[in-house]
Amino acid sequence: MATYEPQDKFKAVWLILFMLGLGTLLPWNFFITATMYFTNRLADPGDESTERNVLQAKFNNVMTLCAMIPLLIFTCLTSVLHHRLSQKIRIMGSLVAIFVVFLVTAILVKVSIAPMPFFVITMIKIVINNAFGAVLQGSVFGMAGLFPAAYTVPIMSGQGLAGTFAAFSMICAIASGSSLSDIAFGYFITVCVVISLIILSYAILPRLEFYQHYHQKVLKCSPQDEEHKMDLLIKGDQQGTSTSGVAQKGSSIFSIFKKIWLMALSVCFAFAITIGIFPAVTVDVKSTIADGGAWETYFIPVSCFLLFNICDWSGRSLTAVYMWPGKDSRLLPALLLGRVIFVPLFMLCNVQPRYNLPVIFANDAWFIIFMILFAFSNGYLASLCMCYGPKKVPASEAETAGAIMAFFLSLGLSLGAAFSFLFRGVI
């Protein structure tokens, strides 16, 4: 007798997973694309000089560090939390916390605060946002394991478009011609609206027949722990009665790491270089076009944030149809190692202020070319590593391999945040 398989009517579950994927990275992208507003708020009261103070100079570096350290810590902690807290509490709680962070951020746009307290409050908000963002990301990918394998695609699609959406929103806000405070207020309220829609979408999800069918299948397989079998991103040492737990008894994490260490270190290096440069260094590049007018206003929002996210997403998308080099090729880590060339290339662009290095690539075209290659190579090569890691081990070890890859990705982000201080300081 054939087993009944319900249809995903109107692609409702697919769209909800897309929205949840968008929600995992959209808040952070809105923070990093609003650096112009934050640095403006950190200016010394009554100071008319164009010289940046200490808080303004260190803002991008400290912001990146305050974002990536919680991401790394809570990525690890989620493996414990998913045993102790239900999926609904983790996902809904994270979304509500992120909503509150951006609601407070929008309110503070209209409140006068001295630079130092504003700096501290902003960093606390970034820590909270990325801590809950890590829990949300791990939980959403875990939930995706309920469904057929194709249902991880909408999450990746949502994540890939988050940065582009944030950059495009900032460009639209600037184009409105409003004051900087009004632009920032509308910008952060936009996040609140999107997060509200995501919360509503997730509330609808359990009511859908397609979701209920696959949710019940998992409960029947493992009533003690419904998520042991569906956590695709975060898998620590599992206990209980799941099949992956049985497999892990014969395969230690270290033995699996020995099979994928090259891919793990490669993806770590990829994001260490990327976050070390973007946005801490790239956001300070100035256009060299005299009397640039509108171009000068849109230079960083378009050439830095929008261009990076479009090219990064293009690189990620290409891996769906074309994967080269192969998983056993030493050319892949070699290409990733070669990306270190972008560090001096961006340093020698017109980054301002600068005290040590000369400007070699002054023309705006150089910066745009470097950004295209930098972003596309990050999206394509890092995605290859994430795809190949679990394929280098038997199927019974693939989940653990994916967890190891996710950890090293987060480690790369954190290392990049630390390197950003060095890269910016050298300039």
Q: Which two tokens stand for residue 287?
A: 């256009």
Residue 1, pLDDT > 60, answer no
pLDDT score at 81: 62
C-alpha closest to that of 399 among 261, 234, 251:
234
- Tell me the pLDDT band of 220, cut-offs 50, 70 and 90: low
pLDDT score at 19: 93
Task: Give the span between the Cα atoms of 299 and 305, in whole angstroms.
Answer: 9
Segments of the chain assigned to CATH 1.20.1250.20: 9-234
Q: pLDDT > 70: what percent of the chain?
A: 84
Q: Which of 53-57, 116-120, 379-383, 400-404 has the highest mean pLDDT?
A: 116-120
* Architecture in CATH for domain 238-427: Up-down Bundle (1.20)
Which CATH superfamily includes the segment(s) 9-234? Answer: MFS general substrate transporter like domains (1.20.1250.20)
The contacts of residue 63 (CB under 8 Å, 6+ apart) are: 31, 32, 35, 38, 122, 123, 126
pLDDT, tens digit, 9 for 90 and up, residues 231-282? 444 444 444 434 444 444 445 778 888 998 999 999 899 999 999 999 889 9
Average pLDDT for the chain: 83
Q: Which of 40-54, 320-334, 339-353 has the highest mean pLDDT?
A: 339-353
Q: Which of 29-33, 124-128, 213-217, 403-407 has the highest mean pLDDT?
A: 124-128
Residue 230, pLDDT > 60, answer no
pLDDT score at 225: 46
- Tell me the pLDDT band of 315, cut-offs 50, 70 and 90: confident
Higher pLDDT, 66 or 292: 66
3-class state of residue 98 by DSSP: helix
